[in-house]
Amino acid sequence: MDQDKQRPRLRALATTAAVLLALGALAAGAVAGPEVYVNGVRATGLKNADMAHCSVKFDADGNIHVLSPGYKVDVDAEGKPLRISGQSDFGEPAKRRRSGALEHRYVLLYEPSPRVPFTFELYVNGKKFKTIGLDTGAFTVDLTVALKAGDNALRVIAKPAGAPPPGGTDADVVKLRILRGDEREDGTFVAKMPPVWEFVRSAIDREPVDRQQIVEVD
């Protein structure tokens, strides 16, 4: 047979052999495909799994990362993924709303001024939450534990303490504020403005105050 006529047939045979070799390698696991990770744990080859409320990312190598805190990959003694257990933390806000708990987080922020000598007592739903003296420095404290979904009764008692330093004006103020926000995955609290509640005294205020207010939270 003429060699020129044999070349196409030989090329076809070589191509077929290459495809068969590639398929065999894939079946044997010799050729690496993209890996799948769930919350940083390898889950390649996992079957019959169902997940909700997930974030999916592809890295520079084409590997697939499924991110959803709360889920866990259960593996055998050799590290082979067996199943997915748990449930997504991303679905918790809806669950909290149904249970009557708070969807957001709330903090109390205190900003003192040396020109405004006042003491404060803050009551939340009839219970004393915080006493603030002249020696109390600026602080932020979690208020969520003292609140409930819906209306909350706040009461602040402010009393002047001693004579204010000379030269104080209405621009010199001390502030009590309640900020609403959410917590990131790394635990960082991100506040939203404006405050849901604010109480301000200035250097020219010298009268005691006993103020009550209803604040709605969710």
What is the average pLDDT score of the chain? 80
CA distance 90 to 104: 13
N- to C-terminal Cα separation, the chain: 86
pLDDT at 132: 96
| Mean pLDDT value of segment 88-108 | 64
For β-strands 36-38 and 64-67, DSSP reports them as parallel
User: Tokens 């009268």 appear where?
Assistant: 207
Q: Is 76 helix (H, G, I), strand (E, B) or coil?
A: coil
Q: Contact 92/131 with Cβ under 8 angstroms?
A: no
For 7-29, the pLDDT digits (tens) are 555 454 444 444 444 444 434 44
| Mean pLDDT value of segment 49-65 | 81
Q: Contact 75/38 with Cβ under 8 angstroms?
A: no
Does residue 197 register a pLDDT over 90?
A: yes
Residue-by-residue DSSP string for 53-66: S-EEEE-TTS-EEE
Q: Is 218 helix (H, G, I), strand (E, B) or coil?
A: coil
**Identity of the residue numbered 107:** V
pLDDT at 124: 96
Sheet with 209-217: list strands edge to edge: 127-132, 118-124, 150-160, 209-217
For β-strands 139-142 and 150-160, DSSP reports them as unpaired
Closest by CA position to 216, among listed 149, 167, 171: 149
pLDDT at 25: 44
Lowest mean pLDDT among 81-90, 114-123, 152-161, 192-201: 81-90
For 58-73, the pLDDT digits (tens) are 888 888 888 777 788 8
pLDDT at 99: 41
Does residue 88 register a pLDDT over 80?
A: no
For 131-190, the pLDDT digits (tens) are 999 999 999 999 988 999 899 999 999 999 987 778 888 899 999 999 998 877 776 778
CA dihedral angle for residue 60, residue 64, residue 69, residue 74, rounded to 10 degrees: -130
Could you tell me the pTM of the whole model? 0.54
Closest by CA position to 136, among listed 154, 112, 153, 116: 112
Higher pLDDT, 24 or 55: 55
pLDDT at 32: 64
| Mean pLDDT value of segment 35-56 | 83
